[in-house]
Amino acid sequence: MKPDAFVEAIDDDRIVAAIREAEARSRGEIRVHVAGHEVADSRSEAAAVFERLGMVKTDERNGVLIFVAPESRAIAVVGDRDIHARCGEAFWTEVVGAIRAEFQAGRFTEGIVAGVRAAGDELARHFPRRPGELDRNELPDEVSRG
């Protein structure tokens, strides 16, 4: 699928709402990025985007990136050091599978929202909000592209 068609098919407002809802339950940060070009290795590309978006600078190293490259039909989910240490590679693979299942049915927004919710559940389990403590939104919630 061409990136422009994918971008037109997704509902940024619903995705941002899902990110905000997930982040309201944890101290973690979630970003969604849509690549505007073909990628050879989605994991490597996602890791580079993770760095470029400043996701390694969160206080608790618990950011999660959902990376989609529609032209390559590639999806990767990357977690920073401290969330990855708690959930492991198998969890990220499971999230990618859930996203891919929705995408194969043509439900692109639903796929991304499902990934955001799954990441949010894991973040809430390992990094729950602390009673009485204000949480700072360390990263933008919007869908990034590039």
pLDDT digits (tens, 9 = 90+) for 33-76: 999 999 999 999 999 999 999 999 999 999 999 999 999 999 99
Q: Is residue 43 part of a domain?
A: yes
pTM of the predicted structure, to 2 decimals:
0.95
| CA 114 to each of CA 39, 62, 77, 90: distance values in angstroms, whole numbers, following the listed order | 23, 19, 12, 17
What is the tally of structural domains in the chain?
1
Instruction: Give me the domain span that covers residue 91.
Output: 3-129
Q: Is residue 80 part of a domain?
A: yes
CATH number of the structural domain spanning residue 120: 3.10.310.50
Give the whole-angstrom CA distance, residue 65 versus residue 60. 15
pLDDT digits (tens, 9 = 90+) for 88-115: 999 999 999 999 999 999 999 999 999 9
Q: Is residue 16 part of a domain?
A: yes
